[in-house]
Chains A and B, each alone.
Chain A
Amino acid sequence: NAGVMQNPRHLVRRRGQEARLRCSPMKGHSHVYWYRQLPEEGLKFMVYLQKENIIDESGMPKERFSAEFPKEGPSILRIQQVVRGDSAAYFCASSREAGLHTGELFFGEGSRLTVL
């Protein structure tokens, strides 16, 4: 049973380019979360999505960042016009249900974005 799959694992972009990060949740999971881990900082919540719906995007920067989770295919985190401060590890997590009665989020191994 494959875990949460993220790609690419490593991505290098120049300032002003676009970055697209993909996340395929575990089989049977319809709830996807994106977290960001900046250097020397803890994991920060960005967005929570269900199929075709954004449920909570309170952690997303107001500009340049967007996320989607279409009916078919992986979830995509898109960063337009990247800046050096966007360099970080971006983690995707999934869960089978919305509720935290088990408390378990399954995390992927992350996509590490470097902006030159």
Chain B
Amino acid sequence: EDQVTQSPEALRLQEGESSSLNCSYTVSGLRGLFWYRQDPGKGPEFLFTLYSAGEEKEKERLKATLTKKESFLHITAPKPEDSATYLCAVSSTSYGKLTFGQGTILTVHP
């Protein structure tokens, strides 16, 4: 059974204070690791897909990296609008059956 564990559960940062979110996973055969952002009362919004160890992807202040056992979401110089829950998910299928972690609640204070 695929499993995803995210840490920390909650992270409070000052605006401009860079940090990283961790996603540890076990999967029978990784077809993809995904990062989503979820705002309160909304559905998840896709950020990145990573397919193999060593892969990196960037989008604005976010950078996702992947190893054989974990992924990191690095946030550089965050702004208050980056406050959200960040979800990590994996899939061992060729379609959208994803196993999600519990998420990390990020709060960025001005």
Q: How many interface residues does A have (CB within 8 Å)?
A: 28
Which of A56, A99, A103, A104 makes the CB contact (< 8 A) with B97? Answer: A56
Tell whether, in the assembled complex, residue B100 and residue A103 are in contact, meaning their CB atoms are under 8 Å apart: no
Residues of B within 8 A of A98 (CB): 94-96
Q: Of the listed stretches A13-21, A43-51, A64-72, name the one at the interface; the rest are far from the partner chain.
A: A43-51
- List the count of A-B residue pairs having beta carbons below 8 Å apart: 73
Interface footprint category on B: 20 to 34
Q: A45-B97, A105-B96 are in contact. List 19 more A-B contacts (CB 8 A).
A: A31-B96, A42-B101, A42-B102, A43-B89, A48-B95, A48-B96, A56-B95, A58-B97, A91-B43, A98-B96, A100-B32, A100-B93, A103-B49, A104-B49, A105-B44, A106-B46, A107-B44, A109-B42, A110-B41
